[in-house]
Amino acid sequence: MTTRKSLLLTILLTMKKHLNNFLLLTLLFIPTQVNASNYALVIHGGAGWFSDMSAEEVEGIKNGLKEALDIGYEILESGGSSTDAVVEAIVVLEDNELFNAGKGAVYTSELKQELDASIMVGRNNDAGAVASVTNVKNPIRLARYVMEETKHVMFSSKGAERVAKDAGLEIVYPNYFYQKNRLDDAKRIKKENSKMGTVGVVAIDKDGNIAAGTSTGGMTNKMPGRIGDSPIIGAGTWAENNVCGVSATGHGEFFIRFNVANEICDLIKYKSKDVNEAAEIVIENLKSIGADGGVIVLDAEGNAAMTFNTPAMARAYKNSKGEELVKIYRD
Ligand code: ASP
């Protein structure tokens, strides 16, 4: 063989080797079991009674859900990540005083507001959470910052507020959260924890990545320092690629003790339940012990469950097949 021919052969063989490596790498990074066209977003704005509400409030809640749904969905549609969709949709709800999160947070027994939030991404079990923050405009942004920029998973009260300040997130005076009707509720309801709310979003993006987030003011008349399920990874929020994502709302103490969000994904993963069966088993179990609440669940194909044992749960869903829903009551 001439030197020229052997040089050409070497070049061809090297190219073939690199092509093989390239193909192998491409295959490794394609998520399994995922149909990229099945992106979807599901939202809740709290489970409860929604009985003493004016028609305007009901309309306002539906409009708020729809606004959050559209913002999250646009992100997914344009190829954005489920993490972005979850955070931006939750920010819309945190900024809307009709929801018990951010601006609309309920009051503690000492008539102050303490906010909790968490986020989880299913690609790598990454998670971030904050509890009892009093001056952070959007706690979900802080939860994301904790997840992405610190080596920890959860911060509370003053430490969390310091992280928010260092992160350059928007800090507000506590009176930003002032709301006359919520304050009146807290003064009236002095005997028991009540008035549930909370917001949550679960999304799956075009890459098949699932993310889930939850944000809340907690329960009206909660004791100062009390932390509910919303910032607890596994209880109020869970995301696991190729299995499911969950955000919960309801009587947090029970949701913590029964590890609700993770339990639902485990039923899908280990017992081959579908999203609706899994959610129903867990929500029915809660009902049997007197725990009120609901969950939103999204699986790896973009199928959603919106399951609750209260008379109503504010909820919304949109997927890439063109299905869309915004609802509060059962029918
Ligand atoms: N789960 C929230 C908490 O216990 C309240 C709610 O979802 O309504 O703090």
Ligand 1 in contact with 214 (CB < 6 A)? Answer: no
Provide the domain count of the chain: 2
* Neighbouring C-alpha atoms within 13 Å toward the C-beta of 206: 9
Integer Cα distance of 261 and 147 in angstroms: 19
Same domain, 3 and 149: no
Active site amino acids: 198
Residue 49: its pLDDT value, please?
84
CATH number, position 294: 3.60.20.30
Integer Cα distance of 93 and 268 in angstroms: 29
pLDDT digit string (tens) for 221-273? Answer: 999 999 999 999 999 999 999 999 999 999 999 999 999 999 999 999 999 99
User: Could you tell me the strand order of the sheet in which 304-308 lies?
Assistant: 237-240, 244-250, 293-299, 304-308
pLDDT digit string (tens) for 21-40? Answer: 554 444 444 444 455 578 99
Same domain, 26 and 173: no
Same domain, 77 and 130: yes
Domain housing 294: 36-329
Same domain, 251 and 209: yes
Ligand 1 in contact with 250 (CB < 6 A)? Answer: yes
Same domain, 40 and 25: no
Integer Cα distance of 181 and 173 in angstroms: 19
Same domain, 136 and 25: no
Residue 56 has pLDDT above 60, yes or no: yes
Residue from 49, 90, 98, 229 to probe ligand 1 pocket by mutation (most atoms less than 8 Å from CB): 229
Strand pairing class (126-133; 154-156): parallel
Same domain, 156 and 24: no
Residue 199: its pLDDT value, please?
98
Q: Are 91 and 140 in contact (CB under 8 A)?
A: yes
Encoding tokens for residue 214? 């939850």
Strand pairing class (244-250; 115-121): unpaired
Look-up: residue for tokens 């075009």? 206
Residue 31: its pLDDT value, please?
47
Encoding tokens for residue 18? 């690199």
Residue with CA closest to ligand 1 atom 5: 218
Encoding tokens for residue 168? 């350059």
Residue 19 has pLDDT above 60, yes or no: no
* Neighbouring C-alpha atoms within 13 Å toward the C-beta of 137: 13
